């Protein structure tokens, strides 16, 4: 392709020299939906979009039985009257930025032709989705900005830090346990037993673990010499423990394992997304800058079990 052909392609792809422009809410949602479509775990969690300044994650729970014997003309005892527990959490997205450069050579060699803009959107929405999941679980504002990973993780405190700091999250101690067989053979049952009765619904629960723990568990199942083991080795069925799905989390560390309702993990994006595309002919590159905002919160602490070295 000649430079003129490249410039024609840039024009068709709507990549023009301009200041950053705010994309429509529909386009912003499409970008996030593209992340969800490519990152399976985002389809399991609670995802909120279009947040202006904050979004309440209020939950109303009845943590004890409310039914008792009815005796006519008798008022209930004080301990027979139950009030719902209202828990207030709020997603308050933090501003983040994505910067990437595309060279003319990349465009020249790209086989997608006029669809390069869509190709780039898919590529970077997938990467941003992976980043958002990693930040949601591993975020830690005390980290130094010494690596690209830490620069992403220090935006806000994620589920690991939130669970560790909460007195209402149920905790299983991993101290002294370093062998994966012990972790997965002993800790999974301990975590299951720590789930409050009101939330013990296998259809809504899931274990969330690192990819390392996930593959160790698959390896253990494959060693059983049964049809279940064969299926685990082939990878053609979902992996469960006592009927509860075991879901791997991109970027999660081995030292934190979660068990709880899937929708108890919330990730939210702000309503505004800005995209700037700047063409530099002399340097032969296009600089793309995207600004958005993201946050993550545990919705109801009492419904969650975390295993880590307490």
pTM of the model: 0.82
Which has the minimum average pLDDT: 24-38, 140-154, 291-305?
24-38
Most confident by average pLDDT, 161-170, 194-203, 214-223: 161-170
Tens-digit pLDDT profile for residues 97-126: 988 888 887 777 765 555 666 777 787 888
Higher pLDDT, 128 or 15: 128
Q: How far is CA 97 from the centre of its chain?
A: 18
Cα(282)–Cα(286) distance, integer angstroms = 11
What local confidence, expressed as pLDDT, does residue 38 receive?
Answer: 83
What local confidence, expressed as pLDDT, does residue 3 receive?
Answer: 61
Residue 256 in 3-state DSSP?
Answer: coil
What local confidence, expressed as pLDDT, does residue 58 receive?
Answer: 67
Tens-digit pLDDT profile for residues 163-174: 999 999 999 999
Most confident by average pLDDT, 28-37, 120-129, 197-206, 271-280: 197-206
Give the dihedral of Cα atoms 288, 138, 201, 238; nearest 10 deg.
70
User: What H or E segment, with its residue span, contains residue 241?
Assistant: strand 240-241
Residue matched to tokens 């082939």: 234
**Between vectors from CA 191 to CA 188 and to CA 197, what angle results, nearest 5°?**
130
């Amino acid at each position: 392709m000649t430079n003129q052909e490249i410039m024609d392609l840039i024009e068709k792809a709507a990549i023009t020299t301009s200041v950053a422009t705010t994309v429509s809410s529909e386009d912003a949602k499409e970008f996030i939906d593209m992340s969800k479509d490519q990152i399976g775990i985002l389809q399991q969690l609670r995802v909120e979009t279009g947040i202006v300044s904050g979004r309440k994650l209020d939950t109303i729970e009845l943590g004890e039985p409310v039914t008792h014997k009815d005796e006519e003309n008798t008022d209930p005892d004080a301990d027979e009257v139950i009030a719902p527990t209202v828990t207030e959490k709020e997603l308050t997205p933090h501003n983040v930025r994505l910067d990437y450069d595309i060279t003319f050579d990349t465009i020249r060699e790209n086989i997608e032709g006029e669809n390069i803009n869509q190709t780039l959107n898919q590529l970077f929405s997938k990467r941003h989705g992976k980043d958002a999941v990693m930040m949601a679980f591993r975020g830690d504002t005390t980290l130094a900005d010494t690596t690209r990973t830490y620069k992403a993780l220090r935006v806000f405190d994620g589920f690991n830090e939130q669970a560790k700091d909460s007195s209402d999250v149920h905790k299983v101690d991993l101290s002294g346990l370093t062998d994966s067989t012990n972790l997965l053979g002993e800790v999974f049952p301990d975590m299951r037993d720590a789930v409050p009765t009101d939330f013990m619904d296998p259809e809504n629960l899931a274990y969330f673990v690192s990819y390392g723990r996930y593959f160790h568990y698959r390896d253990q199942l494959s060693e059983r010499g049964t049809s279940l083991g064969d299926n685990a080795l082939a990878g053609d069925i979902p992996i469960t423990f006592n009927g509860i799905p075991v879901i791997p989390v991109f970027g999660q560390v081995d030292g934190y394992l979660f068990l709880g309702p899937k929708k108890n993990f919330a990730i939210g994006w702000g309503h505004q997304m800005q995209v700037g595309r700047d063409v530099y002919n002399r340097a032969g590159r296009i600089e793309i800058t995207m600004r958005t905002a993201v946050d993550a919160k545990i919705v109801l602490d009492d419904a969650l079990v975390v295993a880590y070295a307490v």
